[in-house]
Structure 1
Amino acid sequence: MNEFLILSIVVLIYIVITGYVGYLAWKRTKTADDYMVAGRETHPFIMALSYGATFISTAAIVGFGGISGVYGMGLLWLTFLNILVGIFIAFVFFGKRTRKMGHNLGALTFPEFLSKRFDSKFIQYFSGLIIFFGMTLYASVVLIGMARFVETTLNLDYTMALIGLAVIVALYVIFGGIRGVMYTDALQGSIMFVVMFILLVATYWIMGGVTDANQALTNLVNIVPAQATATATATGFTGWTSMPALGSPFWWTLVSTLILGVGIGVLSQPQLVVRFMTVKSNKELNRAVLIGGIFICLMTGTAFVVGALSNVYFFDKLGQLAIQVVDGNADKIIPAFISAAMPLWFAYLFMIALLSAAMSTLSAQVHVQGTALGRDVYETLTKIKGDSSVFIARIGIALAMILAVIMGLILPTNIIAVGTSLWFSITAGAFLSMYVFALFWKGCTKAGAISGLVVGTLVSLFWLVFEYKKSAEALSIAKALTGQAVLTTAVPWPTVDPIVIALPVAFVVTVVVSLLTKAPSKEHLEKCFQGVN
């Protein structure tokens, strides 16, 4: 039988199963609570896999896996932070308080949670607008990651792959809501886990084992041509299995943007926070920690290790580093390695895993964008409640997907990892200080929370437009206004991620304004913190 026909049948079966799971979710979605927080009755296994599958997308596997082919195994520090911060701290310290406080306040979305905690409608619709428009960048790079793999592996048209994936995801999210998202996430996460385990084992087997493969990568320390990175060796590169020189531009990009931007920014991701409000007790969150930790460890660890080791494979076979083989586009390193090193059947299997990764993350993104538009913006501003907000949410999901497809067609190469990091940084600057104080400091005032939200957002945007070189050069606004790509050219500022600047500023502003303004009422705080420990 023709191999392409076999693949088509496998993909069709996968889509049918996914559609059936989405149908089951649709049948069980009756109310706004069902649509937005799954009736607060989600099983811990489903919640953990949904959280992990939403967290790990094609941006992590293709984008960051490819970036590890440029920066080496130093990116494994992100895996460590993902488990420590994104799973353990998020579930144990943030998740339990979010679940209970969200239940006390009757919150169905992340902006609504913050809004009711600080008794501010402005926080709800302002946050909703940030999420609806800002998350488009993240959604688009997830789409790009999948479409690039299809383009490289199957020689199919990139635009058609982009649009086809978007249509499939939009349909089951629009009708199934958060249940549709989480049920399909659990299915997709299971597929991803199995395939990534096979990839890790197969990669080390091909290269002679763990010790030989890692040593061969270490031995490539001097094989770094100028085109291998945007900054080259003179800017701090010290080897594929070591961290860059402390304080160098190479170090700042790796640590501030790729590691801290995602590793810390995960705490304020709306599509992840809302999952804490879908379980009925803290026991479910405790049971989900181990499942989520193992899942994240294998997913990110495999992608970063394989991306780095692809240099060994390509140098042995072609005398070139991975980034040279793909003509400087890091987004193509993982697809190129799979196509060259793995049998065709695994390339097809890996495509299903990437399809799962893309669909699980993308569905969560557009769901939170839709609910942000429907409940947090429309319902807050019009004061019209009921089923109309769900209808607007469904329209918002369709609009969000259209915007993601458009951006997927116009964004430049090497954008997947950077685009993901920038979105995580923006949310950290805007939401993280307010979210932390909402959970842990009763003295944080409405004025303090609003000040931190607005200032953190504005500082993040300013840094992206005028100071951070990767984004400032792409936008060209600073160039048009000042004649230079960034306002501050002195090292290391052009390589310092917005999270390093905006997050501390937002924290300080929130604290200072809270100390200078009227404290929230005792009655409101008792309602928020009842049973929270």
Structure 2
Amino acid sequence: MALDLFVVLIYAAGMLVLGYYGMRRAKTHEDYLVAGRNLGPSLYMGTMAATVLGGASTVGTVRLGYVHGISGFWLCAALGAGIIALNLFLAKPLLKLKIFTVTQVLEKRYNPMARQASAVIMLAYALMIGVTSILAIGTVLQVLFGLPFWVSVLLGGGVVVVYSTIGGMWSLTLTDIVQFVIKTVGLMFILLPICLYRVGGWDQLVAKLPASNFSFTEIGWDTIITYFMIYFFGILIGQDIWQRVFTARDEKVAQYAGTFAGFYCILYGLACALIGMAAHVLLPNLDNVNNAFAAIVKASLPDGIRGLVIAAALAAMMSTASAGLLAASTVLTEDLLPRLRGGKQSSLNINRLFTMLTGIAVLGIALVVNDVISALTLAYNLLVGGMLIPLMGAIFWKRATTSGAIASMTLGFVTALVFMFKDGLDANTPIYYSLAVGLVSFVLVSLLSRRPEASVARAI
């Protein structure tokens, strides 16, 4: 594995170098948080796709493909559909606002209290997005190189924390582009064809797997609907994704390049599901299906090539980890910290400090959580259950009030937590009940409380 380790170390060093160049470009507060709002089509498309397709999308979809066949692609399909909808329908009004966080929309529509309440939910979501991908990084390094899990988390996650801290969004943009290219080549043009070759070709894959593995609904309609409820709507309101939208030079860049990124996500999901299916044929008796991706890489690829594919997987994971990290830091410095500092806005140095502190927190959480899909589900359940109803109401319902929004956020968030604890992270009940409770409380409390002034209702 020495050659593979060398390739991975070269990749990690390259990410740190790009982080340094990002630091040199991040000269202002706006550069650090949204890359100066000046990304063109290529940079925007690459960074948007890289942000969405992380550890859960890669390791998780391969696992779903291993267990459920081609229908495992629905996780990435829901994410891709969300990206398309966001860029086609919401990017234009968002870019006009010139804001930094999702929660600023709630302040414009309601009041500062709504912004603070929603910031807590968004912070929890963004932290778990970072944790999810750093977990995946640790899992891959542990299985492939035989490192202790805590060492894998600290080494892989440490690289992410360093380059994110020093250069902010410019570092993320530069590393995302390289990561986008590496993971496309490594996973779609190297690992997938080699896996199919090892199986004996497409015909042999069809012959060796049950027919149900080739059904797009094998995973179950309830799971497919839940993926869309969680991930599609989560993309529409997630800070990590909105922060990428804010980097676009104009609405045309967002609409065209963003739509392309969404379709890419769907194709990526199909590729990962097929890799999982090939892994099921080649390694039918895995002790832990969560390790399906790392196991098939280790078993099917020669030295050197294996290192390139490992780098491709790390690229997918690091891009999402850094997005979650910067999103959490931005919520802290833009939404929560100013209230503690008497309204004083954060500086570039404050942004860097809190990105570093947030990174340390993410690494700490990753050391005590052990399932990438469960961590991702936890993040999106909290986000969608707590934020979807009041945010959509802010945009589309003039009668919505601050009291209704805060009631919906609080009750939706708590309901999601209660049902995740009661029924488990993989259950469908947390998202359904949290949305139902959030909707009812939002409507009832809004109707029973004072009607908002017309000028406020028109603010967004």
TM-score after normalising by structure 2: 0.91
- State the number of aligned residues: 459
Whether the 8 Å contact between 1:38 and 1:178 is mirrored in structure 2 is yes
Identity fraction in percent: 25
Task: Give the equivalent residue in structure 1 for 2:298.
Answer: 339
Per the alignment, do residues 33 and 420 of structure 1 end up closer, same or farther by CA in structure 2, a change over 3 Å counting? same
CA distance in structure 2 between the partners assigned to 1:22 and 1:441 by the alignment: 42
State the shift of 1:429 in Å. 0.7
Establish whether residue 302 from structure 1 lines up as the match of residue 271 from structure 2: yes
Residue type of the alignment partner of 1:422 = L
CA distance in structure 2 between the partners assigned to 1:497 and 1:302 by the alignment: 30
Task: Give the equivalent residue in structure 1 for 2:342.
Answer: 383
Whether the 8 Å contact between 2:8 and 2:310 is mirrored in structure 1 is no
Per the alignment, do residues 94 and 507 of structure 1 end up closer, same or farther by CA in structure 2, a change over 3 Å counting? farther
Secondary structure of 2:27's aligned partner: coil
Whether the 8 Å contact between 2:8 and 2:308 is mirrored in structure 1 is no
- Segments of 5+ residues of structure 2 without an aligned counterpart are none
Aligned residue among 154, 160, 168 for 1:177 = 168
Q: Which has the higher contact order (CA 8 A, sep 6+)?
A: 2
Task: Give the equivalent residue in structure 2 for 1:474.
Answer: none
Task: Give the equivalent residue in structure 1 for 2:180.
Answer: 189
Aligned residue among 419, 431, 435 for 1:503 = 435
Secondary structure of 1:344's aligned partner: coil
RMSD of aligned C-alpha atoms?
2.5
Aligned residue among 408, 411, 418 for 2:366 = 408
CA distance in structure 1 between the partners assigned to 2:187 and 2:216 by the alignment: 25
State the shift of 1:349 in Å. 0.8
CA distance in structure 2 between the partners assigned to 1:462 and 1:252 by the alignment: 24
Residue type of the alignment partner of 2:177 = A
CA distance in structure 1 between the partners assigned to 2:80 and 2:243 by the alignment: 19
Whether the 8 Å contact between 1:142 and 1:361 is mirrored in structure 2 is yes
Establish whether residue 457 from structure 1 lines up as the match of residue 426 from structure 2: no
Aligned residue among 11, 23, 26 for 1:14 = 11
Whether the 8 Å contact between 2:33 and 2:100 is mirrored in structure 1 is yes
Task: Give the equivalent residue in structure 2 for 1:65.
Answer: 62
Matches for 1:74-223 after TM superposition, within 5 Å: 74-84=71-81, 86-100=82-96, 102-103=97-98, 107-118=99-110, 120-198=111-189, 199-218=191-210
Aligned residue among 46, 49, 52 for 2:49 = 52
CA distance in structure 2 between the partners assigned to 1:307 and 1:260 by the alignment: 24
Residues 320-355 of structure 1: CA deviation (Å, up to 9, x unaligned): x2xx32x1x222111111111222333211111122
State the shift of 1:367 in Å. 0.7
Task: Give the equivalent residue in structure 2 for 1:419.
Answer: 375
State the shift of 1:163 in Å. 0.5
Establish whether residue 522 from structure 1 lines up as the match of residue 448 from structure 2: no
Whether the 8 Å contact between 2:187 and 2:313 is mirrored in structure 1 is no
Per the alignment, do residues 8 and 143 of structure 1 end up closer, same or farther by CA in structure 2, a change over 3 Å counting? same
Per the alignment, do residues 470 and 26 of structure 1 end up closer, same or farther by CA in structure 2, a change over 3 Å counting? closer
Moved more, 361-370 or 17-26: 17-26
Residues 125-157 of structure 1: CA deviation (Å, up to 9, x unaligned): 222222334443332231121121112222233
Per the alignment, do residues 294 and 196 of structure 1 end up closer, same or farther by CA in structure 2, a change over 3 Å counting? farther
Aligned residue among 309, 321, 326 for 1:350 = 309
State the shift of 1:392 in Å. 4.2
Per the alignment, do residues 183 and 123 of structure 1 end up closer, same or farther by CA in structure 2, a change over 3 Å counting? farther
Matches for 1:26-45 after TM superposition, within 5 Å: 26-45=23-42
Moved more, 391-400 or 502-511: 391-400
- Segments of 5+ residues of structure 1 without an aligned counterpart are 220-238, 315-320, 472-494, 529-533
Task: Give the equivalent residue in structure 2 for 1:492.
Answer: none
State the shift of 1:274 in Å. 1.8
State the shift of 1:263 in Å. 3.6
CA distance in structure 1 between the partners assigned to 2:456 and 2:17 by the alignment: 44
Secondary structure of 2:304's aligned partner: helix
Residue type of the alignment partner of 2:399 = G
Residue type of the alignment partner of 1:279 = A
CA distance in structure 2 between the partners assigned to 1:282 and 1:269 by the alignment: 19
CA distance in structure 2 between the partners assigned to 1:446 and 1:300 by the alignment: 39
